[in-house]
Homo-oligomer: A and B are copies of this chain.
């Protein structure tokens, strides 16, 4: 067995920025994350043997943070001086990934991660990376050696095509957000290095902390849906509208922990209109911007501009980080559309690190339960919703979710 994840730092930066907030405020909320394969045509148990999946997950559980990894985290001050505090680093020093639950039903893996939030939070990225890499390996095993080489050849040619476009578009700035969706760890590394060398003006950084450390790149990322989702489970006992309270708390906790440095808001957990409606004009003015992770990027961007204008804020001083599965042409069109009206950057995932000719699978790991309550997200595209259908309907009521505007095709 060749381990696929060999370092705990081989994860997304937002796991640490969120991890510290969780460690400081909600360490022991009992949570449960669940793996979900959104690609219905592919039954993963047909491709990945349970034995090999278990071996990889078990190996990941043996990992400890290396000293140089913690030293690197300690030294990061790109978003504010000494952003990771000693108590949190001390916690990481002793950290191990907690146990997981694995079963197979109807050809699909049921893979869940129960535990205290401060521990279970770290499974998402390595588990997704392992499943993707095992799936890639299974697809590759079906090919001849030459065909395998042609897969990488295709990957290189597609990277080069992207770079040809990017070189002519220094205004299109992106970060690698592809850790969880990469074809393999080695391929993500390769793709990222080629971007850093060939189009340094376009590349802002990477969400992968291991690769940021290794290649002297800016670690990128802020927060994810799990923050308000898990808080909504926590508040289910104490609030009539737990989503409202959860989203507000997530906003306030974040600002308290990091101030302006990391102030990119993620408003779409229960629909962007609901998320933005909970941001005050003062916050709209103070926060750097927001991340668009579902729905039509042009439409959401326009909503953002209107929102800032309604708060008396100049949108040209604000930033949208688009991170919902864009390709290079879509990125160029978004930049062109918003030119001079609001700033745009991109978190580039699957299409950056898993574009080698195979159709990548779409897999996610999301919290499904917190503090004994089911939790859900809706997104601006109801196809990206996660959680129990009944709970999804309940959340729609709490958030006044319209959703209709988001279900159009992107372009």
Residues of chain A at the chain B interface (Cβ within 8 Å): 144-147, 149-150, 152-157, 159-160, 194, 197-198
Q: Is the CB of B160 within 8 A of A156?
A: no
Q: Is the CB of B153 within 8 A of A157?
A: yes
Residues of B within 8 A of A146 (CB): 156, 159-160, 194, 197-198
Q: Is the CB of A149 within 8 A of B144?
A: no
Residues of B within 8 A of A153 (CB): 152-157, 160
Q: With A and B bound together, what is the CA distance between A153 and B153 in angstroms?
A: 4
Residues of B within 8 A of A160 (CB): 146-147, 150, 153
5 contacts between A and B (CB under 8 A): A145-B197, A150-B156, A150-B160, A153-B157, A157-B157
Q: With A and B bound together, what is the CA distance between A157 and B147 in angstroms?
A: 9
Q: With A and B bound together, what is the CA distance between A150 and B304 in angstroms?
A: 40
| A interface: dominant SS | helix
Q: With A and B bound together, what is the CA distance between A145 and B155 in angstroms?
A: 15
Excluding A146-B198, A150-B160, A154-B157, 14 further A-B contacts by CB distance (< 8 Å) are A144-B197, A145-B197, A146-B159, A146-B194, A146-B197, A147-B198, A149-B156, A150-B157, A150-B159, A153-B153, A153-B154, A153-B155, A153-B156, A153-B160
Residues of B within 8 A of A144 (CB): 197-198
Q: With A and B bound together, what is the CA distance between A153 and B145 in angstroms?
A: 14
Residues of B within 8 A of A159 (CB): 146, 150
Question: In this complex, which of A154, A156, A157 has the most chain B Cβ atoms within 10 angstroms of its Cβ?
Answer: A156
Residues of B within 8 A of A154 (CB): 153, 157
Q: With A and B bound together, what is the CA distance between A159 and B154 in angstroms?
A: 12
Question: In this complex, which of A146, A197, A198 has the most chain B Cβ atoms within 10 angstroms of its Cβ?
Answer: A146
Residues of B within 8 A of A145 (CB): 197
Residues of B within 8 A of A156 (CB): 146, 149-150, 153
Residue of B nearest to A156 (CB): B153
Residues of B within 8 A of A147 (CB): 160, 198
